Structure 1
């Protein structure tokens, strides 16, 4: 793991990571810890495109899905409550019941999202992404729109959809 963590640390420093996080990367000796850091530092990672999609796939491989991270994939109803779509992902996401979910959509990914019952979903979409949202029941959705992201939505029943255009490209 040493060589990979050294490579990731070098790339993190090029992306201007803060020193406490750089130190944490240098002390990390496994892929799971690095992926957990990715999830915890998602704002930095998305803003800086760090690590690159290629490095992320090389780093995480088959473990990415367990963390809710998808790169250039076709997805169909992922079960995670933390979902990141990168590159050219496409697919469907359904959330229902009393769940709470965070979804991040970046690059050129497209998604059809259905939120129903009492689910709460927070979505951040960036770049040239497309989100087609249907909320129903008592579902609640907040969408932060960055860059050229395109969002269409329907709010049915007692659902609430709040769309916030940030008027900037990233956080």
Structure 2
């Protein structure tokens, strides 16, 4: 499907979910699939809180554009030193962070992610739904994990138990 038709669909559904005017306006100006995918990461909190758009819609229409910016759906993947990383659906991820890297990671649905952090890396993770995070932190690395719903974590330098639903 072409980008303009996808954009129209997403704008209409976003309005149904009461998306903010700023996000709808930015999405409405998007002319390529890459620009639409960028809107997802810019408004990630809203998208994750509302499961918007659905994983099946994203996979069918934006898989490559999303992966190009660090968003993975139903994948087994190994990554090193990303800035923003998102795991959706049923991912199995290995993330290796080092050398003073600063990273934000979102893990949702049934995804399971192993994080190896060292060399003073600073990592913040939001784990939602039934996500499972295992951390191996050393050499001054810091990994803070915010847990939502039934998400679990082992090994983080700090775990913060949040509420059942994701905060906007």
- Fold shared per TM-score above 0.5: yes
Question: 1:28 maps to what in 2?
Answer: 30
Question: 1:166 maps to what in 2?
Answer: 162
Matched residues in 1 for 2:139 and 2:36: separation?
Answer: 38
Are the aligned partners of 1:127 and 1:146 in contact in 2 as well (CA < 8 Å)? yes
1:46–1:100 CA distance, 2 compared to 1 (3 A): same
Are the aligned partners of 1:115 and 1:140 in contact in 2 as well (CA < 8 Å)? yes
Q: Show the 5 A alignment for 1:5-20.
A: 5-20=7-22
Question: 1:47 maps to what in 2?
Answer: 49
Of 51, 61, 65, which aligns to 1:63?
65
Are the aligned partners of 1:111 and 1:130 in contact in 2 as well (CA < 8 Å)? yes
Matched residues in 1 for 2:144 and 2:56: separation?
Answer: 30
The CA deviation string for residues 45-74 of structure 1, in whole angstroms up to 9 with x for no partner, is 111111111111233121221110000000
- TM-score of the aligned structures, taking structure 2 as reference length: 0.93
How far apart are 1:18 and its partner, in Å?
Answer: 1.6
Matched residues in 1 for 2:116 and 2:81: separation?
Answer: 13
Of 103, 127, 146, which aligns to 1:101?
103
Unaligned runs of 5+ in 2: none
Matched residues in 2 for 1:99 and 1:15: separation?
Answer: 35
What's the secondary structure of 1:123's corresponding residue? strand
Unaligned runs of 5+ in 1: 155-160
Matched residues in 1 for 2:75 and 2:132: separation?
Answer: 15
Q: Show the 5 A alignment for 1:147-166.
A: 147-153=149-155, 161-166=157-162
The CA deviation string for residues 113-152 of structure 1, in whole angstroms up to 9 with x for no partner, is 1111110000000001111111001101111110000111
1:78–1:6 CA distance, 2 compared to 1 (3 A): farther
Are positions 1:2 and 2:8 aligned together? no
Are the aligned partners of 2:148 and 2:161 in contact in 1 as well (CA < 8 Å)? yes
Count residues in correspondence: 165
